[in-house]
Amino acid sequence: MNLFPVFSDGSFPAALQFIPAVVIGFFFGFVLERSGFGNARILAAQFYLHNMRVFKVMFGAIVTAAVGLAITSATGLLDMSALFIPETFAWPHLVGGLLLGVGFIVSGYCPGTAIVAAASAKWDAVVTLVGVVIGSVVFGEMYGFIGEFHVSSALGVFTLPDWLGIGMPLLVAALALIAVGAFFGAELVEKFFAARSGKVKEASMNSLGKLLLVGLSGAAVLGAALFLVLPAATGPAVTPAYSAISVIELARMMVEEPRSIYLVDAREDAACQTSDRLPAAICLADITGDLAYMKPRQLLVLYGEEQVDASRLPPELARYTGRVALLVEGARGWNDLVVTPEPAPELLAALTLADRQLVGALNAYFTGAKVQVQAAAPRPKVKRKLKKSGGCS
């Protein structure tokens, strides 16, 4: 009974998928505005530590969403692998976060809150949005110089459960418990810095707020228990049926339907951590312990240096209940056909005409190179013999 996300199974018409986005966006903006996030003074006060409302609201939202994900995925209402998680680029994200923070404290807004404030007729937010547009244009014009840095230090789909090695259930429970302490700690920080700066501290959390915090931590523990217990009762593992997928077919799916596949690097961990890992791929060693909790509709694609030997795959993979495909040409075939600007003639000869025409576009898409467009042959000039005519010519 997978209810969320609502678009992954194709039950919602593609032409109408913007409607839920508009509705959710409206209520998201409404909640931000009612939380005071349309006021630059409240937002900037976070950096001076005398008003921690931004921290409390955002941290509360993150923990609430994490608890909801844990409970709904454990009960089968949510397919976790259907959620899109963007790839992590360590240094570009660090520099980008620093620049965003500078812009945040100077303007008093981030892009999202600037839109909320602009909808409330605040001119400083409109000026901020103009700056966002100008900055986006400048970034696009400078991409030729910073493009290599923009995609450097790629970590793939990098998540806290993978990094800490504790699994999502324990992480969610820990986050909720940390949130309780952090909220009370934020109250003390506000009191201290408000007194030093001569500001009036906001009202503390009432009894209902404290009760909600305790309930949140309890829900997190319940979610962790469900996540850990329910998959164990799913019955014996079933050996998956492996199909085959070609590099061109995989690349086409990664462009057209990136959320319909789950790309996994089945090489040894040392080889998986190298820079030649396929875009958005994660290491098999990082998810082996979580396969029992995944209820995907996506196609799980495994690849090795060359074609994966199915007999050498870990037995835990049998707990994955979705479809599994093996990349025929492996990582080497991906590099030879997609990454290399000019693939070997014998490789191209084995492809269909349509796939051969697609290779150049795929190389440009995944490497950022310019598509080499073959100039059209000049039309031959035809000399026409002029007819002689009489009359009034």
Pairing of β 88-89 and β 154-156: antiparallel
Q: Is the pLDDT confidence value at 71 over 80?
A: no
Q: How confident is the model at residue 213 (pLDDT cuts 50, 70, 90)?
A: low
Q: How confident is the model at residue 308 (pLDDT cuts 50, 70, 90)?
A: confident
Closest CA to 248 of 159, 393, 321, 352: 352
Q: Is the pLDDT confidence value at 317 over 90?
A: no
Please state the rounded mean pLDDT for residues 85-89: 82
Phi, psi of 365 (to 5 degrees): -65, -45
Closest CA to 1 of 72, 79, 76: 76
Closest CA to 308 of 336, 327, 284: 327
Q: How confident is the model at residue 309 (pLDDT cuts 50, 70, 90)?
A: confident
What are the beta bridge partners of residue 242?
A: 324
Handedness of CA 137, 143, 146, 149 (dihedral sign): positive
Please state the rounded mean pLDDT for residues 4-19: 67
CA angle 155, 323, 5 (to 5 degrees): 70
Cα–Cα distance for residue pair 316/239, rounded to 1 Å: 10
146: number of CA atoms within 13 Å, CB side?
Answer: 11
Q: How confident is the model at residue 236 (pLDDT cuts 50, 70, 90)?
A: very low
Over the stretch 352-390, which tens digit does the pLDDT of each residue have? 888 888 888 888 888 876 555 444 445 555 455 545 544
Phi, psi of 211 (to 5 degrees): -65, -40
Domains of the chain: 14-231 (no CATH), 242-367 (3.40.250.10)
- Element containing residue 313 per DSSP (H, E): none
Q: Is the pLDDT confidence value at 232 over 60?
A: no
Phi, psi of 273 (to 5 degrees): -80, 0
Please state the rounded mean pLDDT for residues 112-125: 92
pTM over 0.85: no
Tokens 């100008």 locate to 134
For 98, other C-beta atoms within 10 Å of its C-beta total 10
Q: Is the pLDDT confidence value at 130 over 80?
A: yes
Q: Is the pLDDT confidence value at 3 over 80?
A: no
**What pLDDT shows up at residue 123?**
93
